[in-house]
A and B are shown apart, each in its own frame.
Chain A
């Protein structure tokens, strides 16, 4: 194992493969959502409250900053769920070969971004 190997550390020439990016975003989106838990519970409380408080809640989430935050959490959820399904399939040995793994990584990125955009446009 002491063979001299060529080293290629030109950081402007190398980049993470797509499956690694999906995996990293899975972790980042998970960390983000664990911070968002109480706020999502607060939103659920808002949708379940009385009519007057519901109106106050609606005007709160119509604030552009709150909307952007909600969209970020929505993307985090969709990406985490799609990437999670991909990992569960790999656990049962579906799509572990490299071409399929690269394709499914692309699909995860695309589906979560497109769904976020569609729901965002629909709800805005």
Chain B
């Protein structure tokens, strides 16, 4: 085995794992919503609203939104790191991405819990 010096910020493995765990959370949530649309005896406007009136649905939706935004952060940050080399522009893009995702999170709380 080659004895090599590991350099870098050491977040690679954690983010690799985060990307996969959050992906599975979103897949499970999607399967649940699609199953509701197919299996609900009356997949109507009223049934849809009743579903999202349940506290546990709101909780699971919020958990999935957090998974989505974390997943999006890792993905979009990797795109900037791959294609944007000048540090100043990259830092700006990172900050704008974080603002976009944080604003989305606050709006999602308003949408899911505000009704």
For the complex, give the distance between the alpha carbons of A38 and B75 in Å: 17
Contact-size category for B: 20 to 34
Query: Considering the complex, which residues of chain B in the window 32-87 have a beta carbon less than 8 Å from any beta carbon of chain A?
Result: 45, 48-49, 52, 68-69, 72, 75-76, 79
Q: Inter-chain contact count A-B, CB under 8 Å? A: 51
DSSP class of B's interface residues: helix, strand, loop or mixed? helix
Chain B residues lying within 8 Å of A37, measured Cβ to Cβ, are: 68-69, 72, 100-101, 104
Chain A residues lying within 8 Å of B30, measured Cβ to Cβ, are: 81
Chain A residues lying within 8 Å of B76, measured Cβ to Cβ, are: 30-31, 34
DSSP class of A's interface residues: helix, strand, loop or mixed? helix
Chain B residues lying within 8 Å of A31, measured Cβ to Cβ, are: 75-76, 79
Binary A-proximity of B88-115 (CB < 8 A = 1, otherwise 0): 0000000001001101100110011001
Give chain A nearest CB distance to B102 CB in angstroms: 11
Given the known inter-chain contacts A48-B49, A88-B23, please indicate yes or no for A38 contacting B104, CB distance below 8 A. yes
- Is A47 part of the contact surface with B, judged by Cβ < 8 Å? yes
> Which A residues have a C-beta under 8 Å from some C-beta of B?
27, 30-31, 33-34, 37-38, 41-42, 44-45, 47-49, 54, 81, 84-85, 88, 91
